[in-house]
Amino acid sequence: MSEAAAHGMRPAATGRDAASGVSGTTKESETARFAHASADPSAALVAILRSEAGMAEEALARARLVEGETGETLDKIVTRLGLISEDALAAALARALGLPLIDAASFPAESAAVPDISAPFLRDRRTLPLRIDGAHVLVAMANPLDRDAVEGIAFATGRSVERCVARGGDIDAAIDRLYRAEAATEVEDEVDEGDLERLKDMVSDAPVIRAVNRLIADAVDARASDIHLEPTDDRLAVRFRIDGMLREMPAKPPAMRAPVVSRIKVMANLNIAERRLPQDGRLRLTVRGHEIDLRVATAPSIHGESVVMRILDRANLSLDPKSLGFDADLEAQFLGALAQPHGIMLVTGPTGSGKTTTLYAALAHLNAPERKLTTIEDPIEYRLPGVVQSQINPAIGYSFSSALRSFLRQDPDVMMVGEIRDTETAQIAVQAALTGHMILSTLHTNTAAGAVTRLLDMGVEPFLLSSVLTGVLAQRLVRRLCPHCREAYDADPALLERLGIASRAGEPQTFYRPVGCPSCKGSGYAGRMAVFEFIRIDRDLAGLILHRADTRTIAEAAARAGFGTLRADGIAKARLGLTALEEVLRVASED
């Protein structure tokens, strides 16, 4: 059995180019025949981009111009410039050349035994040997038209090459995983070659630029939400926050501490000479064919500047309530509260719990030509078409309260306030709701009921709050179980007792737990979802607010009215195999 068949792919071609040892397809398209006959692989790729991907001639001419100026390969250029996504490029190549298209789950857990091929060669060519099977070696390629790479692997292995197509980002991530030790040595060598004597020289050195670009690309490939760079006395520690958890990555050598941080500051238009004060900035770049925004925050530390970069991938932003974790009942309740002509809708939870994304979903639902929507944010995370967005600037006196007051004169129908932080903002929001506006905002409280107490503590009058508050949504993020490797099991009775799940005699309580596979990179989890509790302010709850009821009393009344809790929603999602009970216990351990 060939390797293509072993991977469950369409079989690779059976014909063979005797000169290069390259397998070809039995029935090739016109583009494929031209690719084999042409001495210019770039011209063949241009033909495929034109015929299969429908790329405009202006875009192709631009890419060829950059290719001539930089010497970079065309497949890397078109994705780096955002002319085509890596997914679309891989699909076009597979169709045109009649080759199998694979994903990251098909990559091996260990590197193929090809000792004469180095990681730098594979990374430069974006090529990865998958397996050796007798007289053939199966190779994943971002650009299967790269005859030099195919001939090099054929020469090193003494075998004919069967090609398949994969995303360049998947190949890069697999090379870093399978050849980690060699990659670390390569970075050390690059640093030794660079001239790092002066700050401006350091940030313009090619090794530093490559190191920063690779760092960001690796984080995007790993689905990280944040990159943490933390200088120590002997290294630059690197950690990625993936699915809400920080994970150690290969550290940078000590000589890279100042150059990497300075390069990031230059990219974010920060002052590289100022190292004593925290700075905030933003940058946008194209990674794997997608536009990526990064929020950059620096802070001084004893060994240099610490940097955190928040990755905002607009391509992965979903504003559909179902994709955020809403079930049908919660979605109906939430959208019903939004349908009110005026009032205040709050979303609560700790930092990083997805509150702003939920508000964006609400704005997307309300966005219509007959409504004017405005936002006041700190900072603006995503650009929303059809919405007037404004970012506060406390340095010039442009705060949430002053922006909210001024935006009321813009005749908005719906206003999103990034956060109610103080009494003045809370009181202006209440007045805006009383005068016929719908206000959406966030609040830092642990529960939905706690938002009421928090606003009362800020000085909002109970009779005003009870008349304008329409609903409060509390949320937490839990990790999604990988659908490819999750495993059903009978839960431990002790854990069920901690979660308050009643056990029935003789009846197993089936839940799911993480296992780990290549698709999820061994973690057992893939992505995150929210668990919610929602309180719609009805007549009874409004009466409790009017009489300044405490948080527990409001929560108990909401439970009697049929509103669920964070824990109950988490357990329901765990029963469906969407998350693990341990995740529910981690984010909703208290009653």
Looking at residue 196, its pLDDT comes to 38
Identify the three-state secondary structure at position 425. Answer: helix
pLDDT digits (tens, 9 = 90+) for 107-121: 887 777 666 677 778
Least confident of 73-77, 173-177, 259-263, 312-316: 312-316
Residue 31 corresponds to which tokens in the numbers above? 């583009």
Least confident stretch, 67-76, 358-367, 579-588? 67-76
d(CA 336, CA 356): 19
- Whole-number pLDDT of residue 131: 85
CB atoms within 10 A of CB 459: 11
Averaged pLDDT for residues 12-40 = 42
Pick from 191-195, 306-310, 467-471: least confident: 191-195
Rounded Cα distance, 43 and 360, in Å: 43
Residue 505: the pLDDT is 53
CA 386/CA 371 separation, integer angstroms: 10
Q: Which of 72-81, 299-308, 366-375, 485-494 is the least confident region?
A: 72-81
Cα angle: 515, vertex 519, 523; to 5 degrees: 40
The helix or strand, by DSSP H or E, that contains position 304, with its residue range, turns out to be strand 304-313
Q: Which two tokens stand for residue 476?
A: 């937490």
- DSSP state letter for 106: G
User: What would you report as the CA-atom Rg of the chain, rounded to the nearest whole angstrom?
Assistant: 28
pLDDT at residue number 417: 93
196 and 259 Cβ atoms separated by less than 8 Å: yes
Q: Two tokens at 575?
A: 């029963």
pLDDT in tens, 403-417: 998 888 889 999 999
Mean pLDDT of 220-249: 91
DSSP string, 222-246: TTEEEEEEEE-SS-EEEEEEETTEE
Average predicted confidence (pLDDT) for the chain? 83
Token pair for 580: 């693990």
DSSP collapsed to 3 states, 431-495: HHHHCCCEEEEEECCCCHHHHHHHHHHCCCCHHHHHHHEEEEEEEEEEEEECCCCCEEEECCHHH
Of 440, 437, 438, 466, nearest in space to 452 by CA: 466
In the block, which residue shows the tokens 């260990």?
110
Question: What is the pTM for the complete model shown?
Answer: 0.65
Mean pLDDT throughout 15-25?
38
Whole-angstrom distance, CA of residue 51 vs CA of residue 34: 13
pLDDT at 38 exceeding the cut of 80: no
Any bridge partners for residue 580, and if so which?
A: none
Question: How far does Cα 328 stand from its chain's mean position?
Answer: 25
In angstroms, the CA 129 to CA 157 distance is 10
Residue of 152 and 297 predicted with greater confidence = 297
Integer Cα distance of 568 and 393 in angstroms:
40
d(CA 289, CA 47): 19
The structure tokens listed for 160 are 């004919």
Q: 180 or 467: which carries more pLDDT confidence?
A: 467
Predicted confidence (pLDDT) per residue in 390-404, tens digit:
988 887 888 888 999
pLDDT of residue 390: 92
Q: How confident is the model at residue 503 (pLDDT cuts 50, 70, 90)?
A: low
Partnered with residue 389 across adjacent β-strands are 375
Asked whether the predicted pLDDT for residue 370 surpasses 80, the reply is yes
Question: What is the arithmetic mean of pLDDT over 447-471?
Answer: 93
Assess whether pLDDT exceeds 90 at residue 296.
yes
What is the reported pLDDT for 87? 87
Predicted local confidence at residue 473, as pLDDT: 96
Select from 484, 495, 451 the least CA-distant residue to 469. Answer: 451
With cut-offs at 50, 70 and 90, classify the pLDDT of residue 449. very high
Judge contact between 238 and 252, C-beta under 8 A. Answer: yes
CB 40 within 8 A of CB 71: no
Position 206 scores a pLDDT of 65
